[in-house]
Structure 1
Amino acid sequence: MHLLSYAEMEAMPEPEWLVEGLIQTRSTALMFGKSNSFKSFLAIDIGLSVDTGRDWHGNSTISGGVLFVATEGANGVGRLRIPSWYQHHVVAEEDRRAFLYPQEICLDATDDVTALIAAMNIRGNFALVVIDIFGGSMKGSEIEDKTARAWVHGIQRILRETGASVLVVAHTGWQDDTRARMHTHFWGSFDSRLRVEGDKEAMTANLTVERHKDADSNGSWGFRMVQAGESLVPEQDGSVKPSKGRNLTVRQRIAIQALDEALQAHGTRKTGPDWPPCNIVLIDHWRECCDRHGVSGSDKADSRLKAFNRSRDSLIDRGVIRIYDGYVWRCFDD
């Protein structure tokens, strides 16, 4: 085991983009959104842009092997969606190099991860693994801590032993459409989180960077879905914008993340006409989490309190949270 000295730490390279502004090399990214928001089509678009080395809608890519792990609808992915993308972009047969793992896989099981890594190493160097859909990639429950820790360990093995990045596609919860339906340990493990909002009738989608751990968290792309063979492909459309109220500041995002953790650890429910049909938590518990996350960026108690109050008031004004009788909760009806 080699321990880094200070000089070695200081000389560590800047993160490199696999897809500029979207996914870094040797990193994990989560793409989440409601059902029928065109997440899978966007994931294929990103993956095959890496596979062919084409710019992803003006954003440069590093060309490399791509593996799609299709835990749902593998036949349609392999027979229709991937070929339609290649045809739409006029990619020659010899340049169509993507691979497909056409079934569920248990990434919380050591043997499954070992087998996947071995298969990837036999086929060659991979730059990206796309897992669609998250819920079909484990044998345990997506809300269990034990499953979450084993799954995250499996994903980290893939990064470490293959050098590939991992893009995971996930659904949002039924009540909370602002985050993926998963245990907090899953949610916090991703290096990047990408939110997708889609309009099935208008055939449009918007992809927004919600968070990068090691880069500026900005970037939003609008798309119109167009027919391509027997499938759909996204074409960039600047008129498609994210929903009102989604573009939060960094401090507001940290406060929301802290609220998620407070709800996970201390959430409860109350009945009656003044209470929502979701978990609520004491404001004091939320503020404690905000302090741990450094919302204020200060060690002074009065500065932390002022920063918390500003974040709280701004989130109320934007309709993101509500407060009543000393409790706070998320709003999902924007």
Structure 2
Amino acid sequence: MSDPLQNVTQIRNKRPKQQRSVELLQRFRRASEIEAPTEVPYLIKGWLAPRSLAVLYGAANVGKTFLALDIAHAVSRGASWGGCRVQTAPVLYVTLEGGAGFDKRVAALENPCFWVLSAPLSFTDPRRDPTFLAEAIEDLEEEAGPFGLIIIDTLARAMSPGDENSSQDMGRLIASAEMLKERTGACVLLIHHTGKSAAQGARGHSSLRAAVDTEIEVTKEDGSHVIEAEATKQRDMPRGTIFRYRLSERILGKDQDGDDISTCVVERAADGEEPRRAKVKGKAEIALQALHTAIERHGVQRTGPDYPDGRSVTKEQWRSCAELHGLFEGLEHESAKRTFNRAIGELNDKGLARSFNEIWWLA
């Protein structure tokens, strides 16, 4: 006997769509219909973007705060900075290492119009100080308008009592900075320090560099008055942009004893004025020559945000050329290994060679 339902088409009831599914469906796009944007938002063109996370770092006393104040001054006034276009926006400078020194630096600026907050804050718990700060900024926006730039000086103080080398603590700080960025729509710029070796980049856990959209390194060669800021990482802009400046003294007045009250302001270095290159001698000089040779013979262009625009080599390729240059002459294997590591360490510390994941290149 045949099945009486064999020619009957079953009707399947579709499940009612959830509102979130409908919302997502409306956001689907064909890749062929996507065009490059003709208007790219920026705060400082080529340097900082709105709604982004950035870090500005360098050695102690290299002039980071002076530079950060100069950036705040330019953005709040809409003045050109480093020859680059600037979009005017309210700026908040959060100084966690304030005091008389900071106040003098602000007073030296001509008609500053950004906001300053001097208060102890901890960014290791996004539910506390960062949330309260975001709420306070939102209230201030009723008077000032939407903020474009929020500077946190310094990251180390913002992490207290956390550990910079802890992935968990650094993750909490990043989460706080991201929350502040999303709630305000501003660029959050963290002022930070280098580690024991300047060539290894910003101090602390590597998750910081992975999280930021922009990384600006501030360096100064021994014996030079010129300081160099370089955009060493950009997620959506070309990297390698450089701003050279010097610190120019300003006399603010006299103290109670009649002595000058002085500080400094940023002054852009003259065109063609270059920082002096650090000099090396002995084994380090031979290793540097060997790196030039290795790049000439074996250098390749690598892709990725952590590699240079030029050619780079592996450590083994560099070591092989160092042997050709006579760096290990008369040395046993272990002594040769120590000699090479000391030499490249010196080149690291003097900023003449850079590395990432055992790949090396000339700075």
The answer, yes or no, to whether TM exceeds 0.5 is: yes
Task: Find 1:84's aligned residue among 89, 96, 108.
Answer: 108
User: Partner of 2:63 in structure 1?
Assistant: 38
Task: Find 2:272's aligned residue among 239, 246, 250.
Answer: 239
C-alpha contact (below 8 Å) 2:226/2:274 kept by paired residues: no
Q: Distance in 1 between matches of 2:358 and 2:82?
A: 40
User: Partner of 2:46 in structure 1?
Assistant: 21
Q: Distance in 1 between matches of 2:359 and 2:302?
A: 19
Task: Find 2:149's aligned residue among 128, 131, 147.
Answer: 128
C-alpha contact (below 8 Å) 2:56/2:218 kept by paired residues: yes
User: Partner of 1:293 in structure 2?
Assistant: none
Return the offset for 1:66: 1.0
User: Partner of 1:286 in structure 2?
Assistant: none
Q: Distance in 1 between matches of 2:202 and 2:77?
A: 29
User: Partner of 2:11 in structure 1?
Assistant: none
C-alpha contact (below 8 Å) 1:226/1:234 kept by paired residues: yes
C-alpha contact (below 8 Å) 2:89/2:148 kept by paired residues: yes
Q: Distance in 1 between matches of 2:75 and 2:353?
A: 38
Return the offset for 1:236: 1.4
Amino acid at match of 1:73: G
1:63-212 correspondence to structure 2 within 5 Å: 63-77=88-102, 79-86=103-110, 91=111, 96-110=112-126, 111-124=128-141, 125-138=146-159, 139-199=161-221, 202-212=224-234
Return the offset for 1:150: 1.4
User: Partner of 2:281 in structure 1?
Assistant: none
Q: Could you say what secondary structure the match of 2:203 adopts?
A: coil
Q: Map Cα deviations across residues 295-333 of structure 1 (whole Å, 9 max, x no partner).
A: xxxxxxxxxxxxxxxxxxxxxxx74459xxxx958799x
Structure 1: gaps spanning 5 or more residues: 257-271, 281-317
Q: Distance in 2 between matches of 1:199 and 1:143?
A: 27
Distance 1:114 1:249, change over 3 A: farther
User: Partner of 1:5 in structure 2?
Assistant: 28
Distance 1:203 1:150, change over 3 A: same
Return the offset for 1:131: 1.2
Identity %: 21
1:226 pairs with 2:215 = no
C-alpha contact (below 8 Å) 1:38/1:198 kept by paired residues: no
Q: Distance in 2 between matches of 1:250 and 1:15?
A: 27
Q: Could you say what secondary structure the match of 2:207 adopts?
A: helix
Structure 2: gaps spanning 5 or more residues: 1-19, 252-261, 279-287, 289-299, 309-333, 346-351
Q: Map Cα deviations across residues 143-198 of structure 1 (whole Å, 9 max, x no partner).
A: 11111221111111111111111111111111243400021111211101111112
Amino acid at match of 1:104: P
1:249-328 correspondence to structure 2 within 5 Å: 251=303, 254-255=306-307, 273=335, 274-275=337-338, 276=341, 319-320=353-354, 328=358
**What is the Cα-based RMSD across aligned positions, in Å?**
3.4
Return the offset for 1:104: 3.3
Distance 1:12 1:149, change over 3 A: farther
Structure number with larger C-alpha Rg: 2
User: Partner of 2:5 in structure 1?
Assistant: none
Q: Distance in 2 between matches of 1:29 and 1:123?
A: 23
Distance 1:161 1:253, change over 3 A: closer
Distance 1:206 1:255, change over 3 A: closer
Distance 1:161 1:188, change over 3 A: same
Q: Could you say what secondary structure the match of 2:131 adopts?
A: helix
Distance 1:330 1:218, change over 3 A: closer
How many aligned positions are there?
Answer: 267
Distance 1:108 1:15, change over 3 A: farther
Return the offset for 1:241: 3.6
Return the offset for 1:234: 1.5
Q: Could you say what secondary structure the match of 1:85 adopts?
A: coil
Q: Distance in 1 between matches of 2:87 and 2:302?
A: 28
C-alpha contact (below 8 Å) 1:19/1:61 kept by paired residues: yes
Normalising by structure 1, what TM-score? 0.70
Return the offset for 1:232: 1.1
Q: Distance in 2 between matches of 1:221 and 1:141?
A: 31
Q: Distance in 2 between matches of 1:131 and 1:140?
A: 16
Return the offset for 1:253: 5.8
